[in-house]
Amino acid sequence: MRKFFVWMSVMVVMSNSAFAERPLIIAHRGASHAAPENTLSAFELAWKQNADGIEGDFYLSADGEIVCIHDRTTKRTGDRNLKVDQSTLAELRAVDVGKWKDSQYAGEKIPTLKEVLKTVPDGKLIYIEIKCGPEIVPVLKRQLTETQFPLEQVRVISFNEDVVKAIRTQIPTVTINWLTGFKRKIGRWQPSPKSLPTKLEQLDASGIGTQNKLDAVSAELVQEIHEADRQFHVWTVDDVAEASQWVQLGVDSITTNKPKLLLDALAR
């Protein structure tokens, strides 16, 4: 019975008038709880689940192609171990990155950025996380131009400050968000939450994406960043109760491995 009342209280919180403008729900590496991360199957499933956007991780291959994979190597999700930046596209495409998740996904390949872009419906968003350095930016600019993909549907995100600066310089009209995690050091958060508005101003970033650490972020911080005309995003939230607290804080998007779970909760 107690669990029922906890659930009902979350539903009331998530359905009150404060959430008329609900945050966007972004599928982390696609609908990666159900399908193998960073694959076309995961992205297509996210769209079927009506996610507002997808998030994927991208590196530059040895022969200058932008490929979608989270790690520097294929060891964790692949059937062989290759270093991404030292392998050609053809070598990377020979790796099976599906069967580790489930036999039904056997044969799934590492997709290119161009292939991922083709899955994105009109009006939906793609969050392109750059996992390497600024050397990828000229290639990204060229491929976005070649595909004529609408820049208003693109969000580039990165922990790397040099990437943020390169995007701002080379593709100035695209949204670029700086990412940061939080760590406790001697009883204090690093980086200091109070430092974040200044850091965003220094980087001229469009917004920030922070780790799912509710005790590090206040409503006042979110408001201060919004008042500076920048956005506040959070990753990775798979729990409805936690998501409801982020909604209360007024974040612009929530990245999750379980987009259907959060969307169903918000709808209720």
**pLDDT tens digits, residue range 154-193?**
999 999 999 999 999 999 999 999 999 999 998 899 999 9
Q: What is the pLDDT at residue 188?
A: 93
Percent of the chain beyond pLDDT 70?
Answer: 93
H helix or E strand, kind and range, residue 48: helix 40-48
Residue 15 lies in a domain: no
Residue 7 lies in a domain: no
Is the predicted pLDDT of residue 5 greater than 50, yes or no?
no
Residue 94 lies in a domain: yes
Residue 12 lies in a domain: no
The secondary structure of the chain in percent helix, strand, coil, rounded to multiples of 5, reads 40, 20, 35
Domain of residue 168, residue span: 22-267
CATH of residue 218: 3.20.20.190
Q: How many domains does the chain have?
A: 1
Average pLDDT of the segment spanning 238-251:
97
Residue 17 lies in a domain: no
The torsion of the CA quartet 137, 143, 148, 153, rounded to 10 degrees, works out to -50
Residue 9 lies in a domain: no
Q: What is the pLDDT of residues 101-115, one digit of tens each?
A: 999 999 999 999 999
